[in-house]
Amino acid sequence: MNVTILTPIHNDERTLPRALAAIAALDWDGRREHLLIDDGSTDDSPRLAQEFAARQPGARYLRKPAGGEASALNLGLQEATGDWIAILEADVEPAADWLRIAAAELADPRVIAVGGYLETPPDDPWVARLAGYEAEIRQPATPQDVDHLTSANVLYRAAAFREAGRFDERLFNSCLDMEFNQRLRARGHRLRYQPAARVRHHFKPSLWGFLSRNYAYGRYRPLLPRQIGQPGDLAITLQLALSLLLAGSLLLACRLPGAPPLLAAIFIGLQIPGMLRLHRHVADPVLWLLPLLTFLRNLAGLAGLAVGWLEKILRPQPDRENR
């Protein structure tokens, strides 16, 4: 089977060399095409990508003005020739057997896409490690059908895009995978999660970068036609509500002195089971800062959500054009 790998790139010089090296080392017997789509990078990413494409058989470099990951992926889809389309972002390093394991799940004709497990690199900055641990806690431990697969590492049948269209470019860099997966699920297709297909995922190395990313997730969420299920959604909803209450109680601490510690204890208690589960194989002391990072992440997401709803009400968006 022929596969096209799409790697969208935007100012990824920190992680790009290792990502491209890992993709080149994938174990695959069929024909492989690798499209590197640069979305108007202003750092050293274009040079790194062009040099890789020049020496790697089957690799090709494409460049476009900055317009978001959705538009970069759509350019790649326009050029892709494979029967299967893999998306491996510029901040992930797939294991050598990632493609082979993911492809095995597509032996079931009812499955239209497969995604794998995001593993936290132990040598990343502490903020990036914390963000990775938070994601790992929410990932299932066993193979199963899911409602959502992240675009960080996913393998689609090319037929998925012929049937459901391309990515919604209004979503730029956030929620584009969620919206597309929703269209597939609405058509009755199965999305398969296989944790044996593993990638090392480098999150943003700074607290500001991490919070900005989560603000963007919240801001673009109102553009989705309906709420989309993700692993751990019930816990996340409860965390968001508690975060809002906790932030409010801190502002009113002089009148309600008992509320902040009570709400903080409940908030931390909700995360203890996941932290203990992860602690069995992660001996990293920064793991215990996870409740604080999650609280800040939730506030950033709530701020983005509020802005997103205001924008949707005040400036209604036209219907999606990338069908």
pLDDT of residue 318: 62
Over 80: is that where the pLDDT of 246 sits?
no
Report, as an integer, the average pLDDT of 111-138: 94
Q: What is the mean pLDDT of residues 241-265?
A: 74
The CATH number of the domain holding residue 47 is: 3.90.550.10
- Domain assignment of residue 187, yes or no: yes
Is the pLDDT at 99 greater than 70? The verdict is yes
- Per DSSP, the three-state class of 80 is coil
The predicted structure's pLDDT at residue 323: 47
In a domain, 319, yes or no: no
3-state secondary structure of 68: coil
Dihedral sign, Cα of residue 284, residue 135, residue 173, residue 9: positive
Give me the pLDDT at residue 278, please.
Answer: 81
- pLDDT reading at 115 higher than 90: yes
**What's the half-sphere exposure (Cβ side, CA atoms, 13 Å) at 284?**
22
Beta pairing class for 111-119 and 190-201: parallel
- The whole-number average pLDDT for the span 59-64 is 98
Q: Do 133 and 199 belong to one domain? A: yes
pTM over 0.95: no
CB–CB of 266/246 below 8 Å? no
37 vs 73: CA distance, rounded Å: 7
Query: Do 203 and 300 reside in the same domain of the chain?
Result: no
Residue 311 scores a pLDDT above 90? no
How many domains would you assign to the chain? Answer: 2
Buried b (16+ CB within 10 A) or exposed e, 264-299: beebbeebeebbeebeeebeeeebeebbebbbebbb
| Mean pLDDT calculated for residue range 87-108 | 97
- For residues 24-54, one letter each, b for 16 or more C-beta atoms within 10 angstroms of the residue's C-beta and e for the rest, the string is bebebeeebbbbbbbbbbeeebbebbeebbe
Q: Which of residues 181, 211, 241 is at a domain's end?
A: 211
Within-domain flag for 300: yes
Is residue 157 scored above 90 in pLDDT?
yes
Q: Which residues contact 111 (CB under 8 A, 6 or more apart)?
A: 105, 189, 190, 191, 192
Single out the residue of 4, 320, 1, 321 nearest to residue 154, CA to CA.
Answer: 4
* Mean pLDDT across 62-84: 97
Residue ranges making up the domain that contains 107: 3-211
pLDDT for 280: 77
Predicted local distance difference test score (pLDDT) of residue 275:
81
| 61 and 191 fall within a common domain | yes
Pick from 310, 303, 275: nearest CA to 289: 275
- Looking at the domain assignment, is residue 151 inside a domain? yes
Whether residue 140 sits in one domain with residue 250: no
pLDDT band, residue 233 (cuts 50/70/90): low
Looking at residue 231, its pLDDT comes to 44
Tell me what the pLDDT averaged over the chain comes to: 88
Kindly state whether residues 203 and 241 are assigned to the same domain.
Answer: no
Q: Hey, what are 233's tokens?
A: 């959604």
Minimal CA–CA distance to 210: which of 220, 202, 199, 198? 202
C-alpha–C-alpha distance, residues 121 and 141, integer Å: 18
pLDDT band at 252 (very low <50, low <70, confident <90, very high): low
- Name the residue among 236, 218, 229 with its Cα closest to residue 294: 236
H or E segment to which residue 48 belongs: helix 45-55
